[in-house]
Chain A
């Protein structure tokens, strides 16, 4: 590692003769910012979720309190009270980013007030106090020097502390998600995004995330359980509101499908541009076997049988489409899958009785698919658990959560197995893999069929959740959209896809004014990501390496993680 040998105690005292004037300046700014949150910012109560009440911080004002408290935390860190944390986190960089966020946020609020109140005359002194506070923070932190950090891998806190950090992080994610979804006002949502982006950037620059990722690698099980708990608890924060649960369910279905596609794209390295057709195949099977008046298959088996049939039909299609992999390589295959997607769309459009058998009702699709019913549990009804009502979408959300959990399990276990190694070998050098006895054709075909199987499964549920199934839900753009989620989040990474899918599906829902531009933005996003960060926002380490073949520093870094994991008694046990 390149970091100089760390001398924690002495260097802080050498670098920061504290308390310096800068330090006091920044502290004063943070305190002012908190104070401003308790003042009124604006006369107009209707604006920005009511910032007009003294001594009672509104939603956006609480965000600023959070920023200020974080800043104070880093300032305390800087004063050398917590030496072990101090060497781990770069407080100077974090403070700079926090202050910049505060300034940007306050200025944006001022602009919104000026435009919508309208006029800055409607602003109250609190707003200006806040701006001054933010500016002071920025002025104070601007010249702060960064301390040398130690490598987070080498730091070991007691196990319970590390687990606590994960739990706290999960709780924050849960409340953040609930808060964000609760914002009806597009402007407020945007400001929240500014806050979120700024805080995430600050913590990332401060080195918190690299530390957390190390902890997360050490406590994978806890992390998984935590994530699952957050996802499970989410509907309980919504108080039976269907509006947000509908969005959350859509995000979940989308993310689940993207995870399935990520097996094909991220693990096996095959570009599948017709993946949505497998989802569609499952959905159509489910619709045709449902009790809808427009379903033309007489046999109505129990839903679990339908799920299996849908998945099998999908995977048979996957086998057929994957079969050219025997003869053609990467980009040709992508086009074959694209052509297949078109064939699917055209076929379901045509099977209306006039052009072929009457199965799909052509462009009109199959409407009126009834809700699922497991015994006495009807998915259309609202159920009350612990006094909290859970509506129709929450029911489907829980069902999809099970499917998503299953797909994540399949994904991670396959990735970390003989089959996963075979896939990596194929991605790296297919000819060499073949020459080393890896069944390349079989593995690629399996990726296709397996991915299709999972999509088919998700599709059968989606049909019931959507109530109707039409061809225009399963067009190429949807496949491209799924691909965008993977590219944005990170190929071969579960967390990445969840992030990517959430961002891509949530933003257009919340930001109505970008809804019309969403495809334009996706297109641009694909190009920009491939150019500047092809491994995605939350990349898998190996994928990052593959996209940066000449980045030696990254390679060294990855190797170090390998060595560390091998040396770590906990994980070594888990591996054995």
Chain B
């Protein structure tokens, strides 16, 4: 596993667009949480979605996955407009994880992943009661796939553990396995490394690369800039619900507006502020480098690299 972490993002040779969101607007009463955002994700691409707290990243996610119906605009998945129903979206091939983990705590890890298989299996009441050979085949198949996915995310040994008893990092990985169980073409990860230590973060990065290598498109929301810039093929930056910039990690991280958005409008001299952040970083390394509260230091670190 550790050898793979050195792997660089795949060369930008991507397939057809999987997801095309155009002109998405989401208003809650008078508040416009997402304003006219366009996003295209192609096959085999890892797209990063960044932005300061309250930029509307998760709201945008919810628009994409049918949790909200966008006020305006449309979301096309593989060329077809999706109905705003989470279930239909999953069935079409788009799966997600949650920012604050939403596992089924009192089910085992294996059962959690098997719930993900729900939309790809069809045993109905009658079949479940009669239990013919077809039913047993389908159950065995679900079980096998779920176990494989657990192995894939590195949780194979915990299949019979209750989800709520797993350590935090494992819970995040279990959520990913559960999402993968729905056979998605595109997976949306909402802060997959929040609360993880550096080692776990590296493992998560490795896992996302391996998911991409399976041929899936990936969209990641993250605050950890080092993580995002070393992971993604393209990065999309949202600020106050609007697109600030979209481009390669290099383009985005060298854009001064991004830095501005994270550390605020400079009062006098922007350089000074950045320099200050630098200095701060040198003297006392922040205790939690990945914590969303101190994204500025991550940015500046990346600058130096």
Chain A residues engaging chain B, CB cutoff 8 angstroms: 409-410, 413-414, 417-422, 424-425, 428-429, 431-440, 446, 450, 542, 545-546, 549, 555-556, 558-559, 562-563, 565-566, 576
Contact A432-B128, Cβ < 8 Å, known A421-B111, A438-B115, A566-B160: no
Distance between Cα atoms of A419 and B121 in the complex (Å): 10
Residues of A within 8 A of B95 (CB): 436-437
Q: Which residues of A contact B179 (CB under 8 A)?
A: 436
> Is the Cβ of B115 less than 8 Å from the Cβ of A435?
no
B279 interfacial by beta-carbon distance below 8 Å: no
| Any A CB within 8 A of the CB of B226 | no
Residues of B within 8 A of A418 (CB): 114, 117-118, 121, 123, 128, 138-139, 142
Q: Which residues of B contact A410 (CB under 8 A)?
A: 129
Contacts of A432 in B (CB 8 A): 98, 102-104
Contacts of A425 in B (CB 8 A): 104, 107, 115, 118
Q: Do A446 and B125 touch (CB < 8 A)? A: yes
Contact B128 A436 (CB under 8 A): no
B104 close to A414 (CB less than 8 A): no
Chain A residues closer than 8 Å to B106, beta-carbon distance: 424, 428, 542, 545-546, 555
Given contact pairs A419-B125, A438-B119, A545-B106, A562 touches B87 in the complex (Cβ within 8 A)? no
Indicate whether B131 reaches chain A with its CB closer than 8 angstroms: yes
Is there an interface contact between A421 and B90, defined as CB atoms closer than 8 Å? no
CA–CA, A419 to B124, complex, Å? 7
Q: Nearest chain B CB to A562's CB is how many angstroms away?
A: 4
- The docked-state distance in angstroms from the alpha carbon of A562 to that of B108 is 8
Residues of B within 8 A of A435 (CB): 65, 67, 86, 90, 96, 98, 102
Pairs across A and B, CB under 8 Å, 7 listed: A409-B129, A418-B142, A433-B104, A435-B65, A437-B87, A437-B91, A562-B160
Find the B residue at minimum CB distance from A414: B128
Chain A residues lying within 8 Å of B265, measured Cβ to Cβ, are none
Is B128 a contact of A434 with CB atoms below 8 Å?
Answer: no
Q: Establish whether residues A413 and B129, one from each chain, have CB atoms under 8 Å apart when the complex forms.
A: yes
CA distance A180 to B95 in the complex (A): 58
B182 at the interface (CB under 8 A from A): yes
CA distance A420 to B161 in the complex (A): 19
Q: Which residues of A contact B103 (CB under 8 A)?
A: 429, 432
A576 contacts B140, C-beta separation under 8 Å: yes
Residues of A within 8 A of B115 (CB): 421-422, 424-425, 433, 436, 438
Query: Which residues of chain A come closer than 8 Å to B172, judged between CB atoms?
Result: none
B53 sits at the interface (CB 8 A): no
**Chain B residue with Cβ nearest A565:** B160
Contact B160–A559 (Cβ < 8 Å): yes
CB of B118 within 8 A of CB of A436, answer yes
4 new A-B pairs (CB below 8 Å) besides A418-B118, A436-B182?
Answer: A425-B104, A435-B96, A437-B90, A545-B106
Chain B residues whose CB sits within 8 angstroms of the CB of A546 once the complex forms: 106
A residues near B178, Cβ cutoff 8 Å: 436
10 interchain residue pairs of minimum CB distance = A437-B119, A437-B90, A417-B128, A432-B102, A428-B104, A545-B106, A562-B160, A566-B160, A435-B86, A425-B115
- B105 lies within 8 A of chain A by Cβ: yes
Closest Cβ neighbor of B92 among chain A residues = A437
Q: Is the CB of A559 within 8 A of B162?
A: yes
* Residue pair A428, B86 in contact (C-beta under 8 Å): no
User: Which of B115, B119, B139 neighbours the largest number of chain A CB atoms within 10 Å of its CB?
Assistant: B115
Nearest-Cβ distance from residue A327 to partner chain B, whole angstroms? 14
B96 CB contacts on chain A under 8 angstroms: 435
Write the nearest CB–CB distance from A105 to chain B, whole angstroms: 41
Q: Which residue of B lies closest to A410 (CB)?
A: B129
Task: Judge if B164 is at the interface, Cβ distance under 8 Å.
Answer: yes
Determine whether the beta carbon of A559 is less than 8 Å from that of B161: yes
Give A255 to B154 CA distance when docked, in angstroms.
46
Within 8 A of A (CB), among B65-106: 65, 67, 86-87, 90-91, 95-96, 98, 102-106
Q: Does B165 contact A (CB under 8 A)?
A: yes
What residues make up the interface of B, taking CB atoms closer than 8 Å to A?
Answer: 65, 67, 86-87, 90-91, 95-96, 98, 102-108, 111, 114-121, 123-125, 128-129, 131, 135, 138-140, 142, 159-162, 164-165, 178-179, 182
The one of A409, A421, A431, A559 that contacts B118, using a Cβ cutoff of 8 Å: A421
Please report the C-alpha to C-alpha distance between residue A434 and residue B128 in the assembled complex, in whole angstroms: 21
Interchain nearest-CB distance for B261 vs A (Å)? 29
Contact among B67, B107, B139 with A424 in the assembled complex (CB-CB below 8 Å): B107
In the complex with contacts A435-B65, A435-B86, A559-B160, A417-B123 CB distance below 8 A? yes
Chain A residues within an 8 Å CB radius of B65: 435
Q: Is the CB of B162 within 8 A of A558?
A: yes
Q: Nearest Cβ distance between residue A340 and chain B, in whole angstroms?
A: 22
B105 neighbours in A (Cβ, 8 Å): 428, 549
State how many angstroms separate the Cβ of A181 from the closest Cβ of chain B: 33
Residue from the set A431, A436, A440, A562 with the largest chain B CB neighbour count within 10 Å: A436
B129 partner residues in chain A, CB cutoff 8 A: 409-410, 413-414
Q: Find out whether the CB atom of A438 lies under 8 angstroms from the CB atom of B87.
A: yes
Which of B105, B116, B125 counts the most chain A CB atoms within 10 A?
B125
Q: Nearest Cβ distance between residue A447 and chain B, in whole angstroms? A: 10
Which residues of A lie under 8 Å from residue B107 when comparing CB positions? 421, 424-425, 428, 542
- Complex CA gap A436/B89 in Å reads 9
Chain A residues, CB < 8 A from B116: 436-437
Cα A576 to Cα B124 with chains together (Å): 19
B104 and A413 form a contact (CB under 8 A): no
Nearest neighbor of B164 in chain A, beta-carbon distance? A555
Distance of A564 Cα from B223 Cα, bound (Å):
41
- Note all chain A residues with C-beta closer than 8 A to B159: 566
B131 cross-chain contacts in A, Cβ below 8 A: 413
Roughly how many angstroms separate A419 CA and B182 CA in the complex, as a whole number?
16
Is A438's CB under 8 angstroms from B160's CB? no
Greatest chain A CB density within 10 A among B67, B118, B159, B182 is at B118
Q: Tell me the smallest distance from the CB of B163 to a CB of chain A, in Å.
A: 9
Q: Which of A425, A433, A549 gathers the greatest number of chain B CB atoms within 10 Å?
A: A425
Contact for A559 among B86, B102, B165, CB less than 8 A: B165
Looking at the assembled complex, report how far the CB atom of B270 sits from the nearest CB atom of chain A, in whole angstroms: 40
Residues of A close to B182: CB separation below 8 A: 436-437
Q: Which residue of the partner chain B has the closest CB to A424?
A: B107
Which residues of A sit under 8 angstroms from B111, Cβ to Cβ? Answer: 421, 424
Cα A436 to Cα B107 in complex, Å, equals 15
Which residues on A sit within 8 Å (CB–CB) of B161?
559, 562-563
Tell me the minimal C-beta distance from A423 to chain B in angstroms.
Answer: 10
Contact residues in B for A409 (Cβ distance below 8 Å): 129
Q: Give complex CA distance A414, B125 in Å.
A: 7
B291 to chain A, nearest CB (A): 25
Docked Cα-Cα span, A438 to B106, in Å, equals 17
- Measured between beta carbons, the chain B residues less than 8 angstroms from A542 are 106-107
A450 touches B102 (CB 8 A): no
Q: A438 — nearest CB in chain B belongs to which residue?
A: B118
Q: How far is the CB of A575 from chain B (nearest CB, A)?
A: 8
Task: Tell me, in angstroms, the Cα distance from A421 to B65 when the chains sit together.
Answer: 22
- List residues of chain A with CB within 8 A of the CB of B124: 419
A542→B159 CA distance, assembly (Å): 16
**In the complex, residue of chain B having the shortest beta-carbon distance to the beta carbon of A575:** B143
Q: How far is the CB of A417 from chain B (nearest CB, A)?
A: 4
| Complex contacts, A555 vs chain B, CB 8 Å | 106, 162, 164-165
Instruction: Report A428 CB to chain B, min CB distance, Å.
Output: 4
With A555-B165, A558-B162 as known contacts, state yes or no: A429 contacts B104, CB within 8 Å: yes
Q: Do B102 and A429 touch across chains, with their CB atoms under 8 A apart? A: yes
| Closest beta carbon of chain A to B120's beta carbon, Å | 8
Contacts of B114 in A (CB 8 A): 418, 421
Closest beta carbon of chain B to A491's beta carbon, Å: 13
